[in-house]
């Protein structure tokens, strides 16, 4: 059994990884369309245990620019941690994580990950602490405007390039615990959970939004500076809504938003290596989560 690292340039191993994900994860989408759209970039790598070219266990690592209490930290986000059905309960994930966490500067960088209810006791063995997020909402009456904002087409390469360029310049949507420049994660989620990306050319910004059960959900605001959201809301909703929900910490955008505990048992949030835990209520950007 061999330890191997797969980077964006190790294309001969990509197909093996894609096939592994499709059999090892019941709920995860395939990585193929994301990679075909240019999502696998430098900064994302897969640590694997393999035997004779067959992948038995994986753990993915993405570089992240994390924001904690307004300060930026170079860190990582882990994901795609799994073993094949025939090799579970043999300590393979433990072996991979031990290797990954001892690599390079991993011991000194903050690391985050989102798990599931079956790993609540697993990740603390590696120094991770579970922290609770917050849900932010505000009651509001919004009617669709006469003119909608133009939208992005993910199948269009120039639109993707424009979104990636904006993500690289944008500030973090939140300040308590957030991230910036997370285009690969955003592209993966937009590929598998389609939401509309609205261009706001006059503001050098984009808004990712959807409407569910009378709620306008702002999944993300990608912008270089805060601005008043109220005038643009009618341009990004197709129907009347009475509630605004945020997929990020809106302290810079809507300070009066109501905060309530988020029941995240199906996707618990773990952190490791932070200089200190964030102070105050926060929501890590939904579209930065892998």
Q: What is the pLDDT along the chain (290 residues), one digit of tens a residue?
A: 899 999 999 999 999 999 998 888 765 568 999 999 999 999 999 999 999 999 999 999 999 999 999 999 999 999 999 888 777 777 889 999 998 898 767 677 999 999 988 888 999 999 999 999 999 999 999 999 999 999 999 999 999 999 999 999 999 999 999 999 999 999 999 998 879 999 999 999 999 999 999 999 999 999 999 999 999 999 999 999 999 999 999 999 999 999 998 877 788 999 999 988 898 899 999 999 98
Domain 135-261, CATH number (from 3.40.50, 1.10.10, 1.20.1280, 3.40.630): 3.40.630
Tell me where in the chain the CATH 3.40.630.30 domain(s) lie.
Answer: 2-133+265-279
Concatenated DSSP letters for 223-272? ESS---SGGGGGGS-SS-EEEEEESS--TTT-TT-EEEE---TTS-EEEE
- Which CATH superfamily is 2-133+265-279 part of? Gcn5-related N-acetyltransferase (GNAT) (3.40.630.30)
């Amino acid at each position: 059994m061999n330890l191997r690292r797969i980077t964006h340039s190790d294309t001969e191993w990509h197909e093996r990884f894609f096939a592994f994900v499709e059999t090892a994860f019941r709920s995860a989408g395939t990585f193929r369309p994301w990679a075909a759209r240019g999502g696998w970039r430098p900064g994302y790598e897969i640590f694997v245990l393999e035997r004779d070219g067959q992948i038995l266990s994986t753990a993915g690592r993405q570089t992240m620019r994390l924001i904690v209490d307004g300060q930026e930290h170079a860190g990582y986000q882990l994901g795609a941690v799994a073993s094949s059905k025939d090799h579970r309960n043999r300590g393979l994930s433990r072996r991979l994580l031990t290797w990954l966490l001892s690599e390079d500067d991993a011991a000194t960088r903050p690391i985050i990950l989102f798990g599931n209810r079956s790993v609540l006791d697993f990740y603390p063995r590696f120094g991770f602490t579970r922290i609770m997020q917050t849900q932010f909402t505000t009651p509001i009456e919004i009617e669709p405007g006469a003119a909608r904002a133009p939208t992005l087409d993910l199948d269009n390469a120039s639109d993707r390039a424009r979104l990636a360029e904006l993500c690289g310049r944008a500030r973090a949507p939140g300040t308590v615990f957030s991230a910036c420049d997370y285009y690969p994660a955003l592209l993966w989620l937009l590929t598998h959970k389609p939401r509309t990306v609205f261009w706001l050319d006059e503001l050098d910004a984009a808004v990712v939004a959807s409407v569910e059960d009378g709620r306008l959900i702002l999944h993300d605001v990608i912008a270089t500076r805060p601005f008043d959201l109220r005038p643009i809301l009618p341009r990004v909703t197709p129907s009347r809504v009475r509630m605004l929900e945020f997929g990020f910490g809106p302290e810079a955008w809507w300070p009066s938003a109501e905060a309530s505990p988020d029941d995240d048992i199906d996707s618990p949030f773990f952190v490791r290596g932070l200089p200190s835990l964030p102070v105050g209520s926060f929501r890590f950007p939904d579209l930065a989560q892998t």
